Amino acid sequence: MNLSTPRLGTWLSSGSPVIAELAALCGFDWVLIDLEHGNGTEADLPHQLRALRGCGTRAIVRVSGHGPDAIARVLDWGAHGIMVPHVHSAAEAEQIVRAAHYPPRGTRGFSRSVRAFEYGLQAPPEHGTRPLLIAQIETGESVTASADIAKVDGIDVLFIGPADLQLDLNTHPAKAPASFEDCLQQVATAARAGGKAAGILLRDLSQLQRHIDLGFHCIAVDSDLSLLRKGFQQIRKSLPCITP
């Protein structure tokens, strides 16, 4: 994924390969398959990845934590990259990079027979693969550390989780480094200074250009469940009351 220009993605929380395939057919640059809060399980993930096979849409998987086993497993199954929630420091970012890379850069175990190498039919690259790695900035502590996180070699995107960040700032106002809007600018500036992209999830498409202007270049707009919910609600509101 070339992140030098704004890239548009969307959030997939349903666990459905049909919806993953539809999102790709609609031309999204990338999709986020959510294993942290989504309804799908690890067992569902390979089916969603297969639905994206052969298209230009990148599959990014949000793992549920920092565990190296989950990171390696998702990449072995063929995800183009991973998103890791609640990255609070450069040290945590470095651990994520090491979990995602083969030696000598990292500690990821190697197998030729995984799906990422066509079950052994494809020769692994000489120097291994370089997955796209996205660190989520979701607390005031993370915002404060964002400049250091952006300096970690191997981290590609600093991605703000707006709901968690706003919750943290509101819950711990005394520790908040700045207002939410100022935090957005601080993270975008830190990412740019570190040669990385800044990303965010938006619920309102009308906010897209404003965030691009702020310096965000990896943007997800809405989610499959939210779009379905709003569509169902709109249908129900537009119909006359039906009574027996």
pLDDT in tens, 159-173: 999 999 999 999 999
Confidence band of 4 (pLDDT split at 50, 70, 90): low
Beta bridge partners of 207: none
pLDDT bucket at 130, cuts 50 / 70 / 90: confident
Phi/psi for 24 (5° steps) reads: -65, -40
Residues carrying an active site annotation:
37
Query: Given this model, what pLDDT does residue 70 score?
Result: 95
User: Where do the domains of the chain lie, and which CATH numbers do they carry?
Assistant: 7-238 (3.20.20.60)
Strand duo 218-223 + 58-62: pairing? unpaired
Mean local confidence (pLDDT), 136-160:
98
pLDDT of amino acid 6? 72
- Asked if residue 148 has pLDDT above 90, the reply is yes
**Which element (helix H / strand E) includes 59?**
strand 58-62
Convert the pLDDT of each residue in 36-73 to its tens digit. 999 999 999 999 999 999 899 999 999 999 999 999 99
HEC readout, 80-146: CEEEECCCCCHHHHHHHHHHHCCCCCCCCCCCCCCHHHHHHCCCCCCCCCCCEEEEEECCHHHHHCH
Average pLDDT of the chain is 94
The residue among 93, 86, 81 whose CA lies nearest residue 29 is 81
pLDDT of residue 141 exceeding 70 = yes
Structure confidence by residue, pLDDT tens digits, 7-26: 999 999 999 999 999 999 99
Confidence class for position 125, pLDDT limits 50, 70, 90: confident
d(CA 138, CA 197): 16
* The predicted structure's pLDDT at residue 124: 82
Whether the pLDDT of residue 182 is over 90: the answer is yes
Within 13 Å and on the Cβ side, how many CA atoms surround 170? 7
CA dist., res. 76 & res. 98, Å (int) = 15
Distances (CA, A) of 183 to 148, 177, 199, 230: 15, 8, 13, 29
Residue 96 has pLDDT above 70, yes or no: yes
Considering only CA atoms, which of 26, 37, 29 is closest in space to residue 59? 29
Residue 129 pLDDT class (50, 70, 90 cuts): confident
